[in-house]
Amino acid sequence: MGGSESDCRLSDPVGRRASRFLRGVLVAGWCSAALLVSCGKVGEPLPPAPRLPLRTKHLSVAQRGPFIILQWPKPNVQTLESLGFRLRRIDIYRLVQPAGTANQPTAREFADRATLIGSVSESQMRPVKTGEALTYRDGPIGRFDQRYVYAIRYVSTRGQSAAFSNLVSLVPCSRVAAAPENLRVQDEAQGIVRLTWDPPSRNIDGSVPPAILGYNVYRRTSEEHTFGLPLNGTTLIVGEQFRDRQFQYGTKYQYAVRAVSRCANHFVESEGAEAPHIPQDTFPPAAPANLTAGSANGVISLFWMANTEPDLAGYNIYRADRADAPEGEWIKLNATVHTLNTFRDETTIRGKTYYYKVRAVDRAGNLSPPSTIVAQEAQ
C-alpha cells in the first residue's frame, strides 16, 4: 500500500505485460512509418544472383609467338535470352601451375584458385556472327616453366554468372620464332598478288638462330574478324614469298604471314606480319590475233581468234580511211562491248577500201593493244 508507483509496476505481472505490448505497438508503428518514408531509397535486399548452368564446352587454347590465344564460338544471344539470361560480357579466368604438376585442376579447384584476367564485352561481340570465333589474347608470356590453365564464363546484365566452360591448359615453348618482318603485297600480273617478306631475326626468348620450319599465309576480308585456314593449305611455304591466285579484284583484304616452329611434338606459329591490300586490275588483255576480212553484197565481215583471258568482257572494232590515220580518225563501230570474235560492217560503200583494227577489253575496262590492221574493199 505504502509502496511507490514504480514498485507497483514492477510487482504487477499483468501491468508489465500491458506495458510491453503498448511499447511494442509504438515501436512497430514507428518502424513502419520509417520504412514508408525510406522505401524509395533503400528497398529490400535482393537475394544473391544464382549461378546458371549455361556454358560453352568448346574453349580452345594455342600459343602464337609470345602470346596465348583463347578461342570459342560466339553464343546465340537469342537462345540465352529465351532462357532468361541477357548476356553482358564473357569473363576470362586463369590459373598458373608449375609445369611439372601431375594433374590439371578439378573444376572446384579452378573455381577456388583462378584469377579473373579480362573480359570480352557485349559491344566487342556484337560485330561477330553467332558461331564465329571470339578471341582473347593473353600475354606476352613471362615464364615458360609454368602451365597456364584457362576457363571462361558468361555474365548477365543482372550479374548472374554462368558455369565455367571446359578447362584448357598449355605449357608454352620458348624457342619459337618471332614474327616475320616487312611484309610487302603487290599486284604482280593478271590474277596474281605477290607477297614477299623478311624472315624473323630471333626467337621470342631472344635466342638465335630463329627456329623456322616454314611459313603460313593468311587472308581475310574487311568483313571477316578472324583469319581462316592458311592459303597454302597443309604444306608450309619454304622461302619468303607467296603468290595468291584466288582473290577478287576490288576487295579489301588483310594479309598475314606467320613463321612456324616445332615445339616438342607439335607446331607453334609466330605472331603475324600483316598488311592491307586491295587488288586492282590494271593488266590489259593481249591484242586479238589473226584478224582477217572479207566482203560480199556490200558487207565487210571481220574474223579473229578469240582471246582466252578469264576476265575478258569483249572487243571494240575500229575503222579508218587509211592505215596511217591518227588515233582520232579511227571510228569505233560498236556502241557496246562486242562479245563475239566476228563482226559485220554494213555501213560501207561499194568500191571503197576500209581499214580495220580490233582491241580486246576486260571487265575492269582495260584495253588491249590493237590487232594488226587489215584493209578490205567493199564489194
Residue 175 maps to a domain = no
- Considering 170, 192, 219, which residue would you say is the last residue of a domain? 170
The answer to whether 164 and 110 have CB atoms below 8 angstroms apart is yes
Per the CB < 8 A criterion, the answer to whether 153 and 110 are in contact is no
Question: Which CATH number does the domain housing residue 115 bear?
Answer: 2.60.40.10
Element (H, E) at 325: none
Residue 252 lies in a domain: yes
Domain annotation covers residue 297 = yes
DSSP 79: H
Confidence of residue 101 (pLDDT cuts 50, 70, 90): confident
Q: Are residues 67 and 153 in the same domain?
A: yes
212 with 260: CB under 8 angstroms?
yes
Q: Is the pLDDT of residue 28 over 50?
A: no
**Residue 374 CA to chain centroid, in angstroms?**
54
Return the SS3 of 119. strand
**7 inside domain:** no
Q: Are 278 and 186 in contact (CB under 8 A)?
A: no
The predicted-structure confidence for 128-181, as pLDDT tens digits, reads as follows 999 999 999 999 999 999 999 999 999 999 999 999 999 999 999 999 999 999
pLDDT digits over 248-301, tens only? 999 999 999 999 999 988 999 999 999 999 999 999 999 999 999 999 999 999
Q: Taking a C-beta distance cutoff of 8 angstroms, is the pair 119, 89 a contact?
A: yes
Sequence-separated (6 or more) residues with CB below 8 Å from residue 204: 65, 66, 140, 141, 174, 176, 177, 178, 270
The residues facing 216 across adjacent strands are: 258
Give the mean pLDDT of 310-314: 95
Q: Based on the fold, state whether residues 137 and 234 are members of the same structural domain.
A: no
Name the CA radius of gyration of the chain, rounded.
Answer: 39
Task: Count how many domains the chain has.
Answer: 3
Q: Give the C-alpha separation, 169 to 70, whole Å.
A: 10
Number of other CB atoms surrounding residue 280 within 10 Å: 10
Contacts 24+ apart (CB under 8 A), 336-343: 337/313, 337/361, 338/314, 339/313, 339/314, 339/315, 340/314, 340/315, 341/288, 341/303, 341/304, 341/305, 341/306, 341/307, 341/315, 342/301, 342/302, 342/303, 342/304, 343/301, 343/302, 343/315, 343/317
Residue 286 included in any domain:
no
Is the residue at 43 inside a domain?
no
Report pLDDT for 164: 96
Lowest mean pLDDT: which of 40-44, 83-87, 180-184, 261-265? 40-44
Residue 362, domain extent: 292-377
Q: Strand, coil or helix: what is 61?
A: strand
**What is the C-alpha to C-alpha distance for residues 308 and 315, in angstroms, rounded to an integer?**
12
Q: Which three cell numbers stand for residue 33?
A: 512509418
Provide the β-strand partners of residue 148.
Answer: 96, 170
Residues in CB range of 20: below 8 A, 6 or more apart: none
**What gap in Å lies between CA 292 and CA 314, rounded to an integer?**
18
Is residue 253 domain-shared with residue 347, that is, in the same domain? no
Nearest to 354 by CA among 370, 334, 331, 371: 331
Whether the link from the prior residue into 288 is cis, omega within 30° of 0, is no
190-213 residue pLDDT tens: 999 999 999 999 999 999 999 999
Q: Which residues contact 63 (CB under 8 A, 6 or more apart)?
A: 69, 141, 170, 172, 173, 176, 263, 268
Looking at residue 6, its pLDDT comes to 33
Longest dimension (CA), the chain: 158
Task: Answer whether residue 30 is part of any domain.
Answer: no
Residue 104: the pLDDT is 86
Q: What is the pLDDT of residue 5?
A: 34
**pLDDT, tens digit, 9 for 90 and up, residues 223-249:** 998 999 999 999 999 999 999 999 999
Running DSSP on this structure, what letter comes out for residue 203?
B
Q: What percentage of the chain has pLDDT greater than the value 70?
A: 86
Is the torsion defined by CA of 238, 242, 243, 244 positive or negative? positive
The verdict on residue 285 lying in a domain is no
Instruction: Tell me the sheet residues that pair with 93.
Output: 116, 151
Q: What is the mean pLDDT of residues 77-85?
A: 91
For residues 61 and 106, membership in a common domain is answered with yes
* 157 and 65 both lie in a single domain: yes
Q: CB–CB of 360/340 below 8 Å?
A: no
Question: Do 256 and 224 sit in the same domain of this protein?
Answer: yes
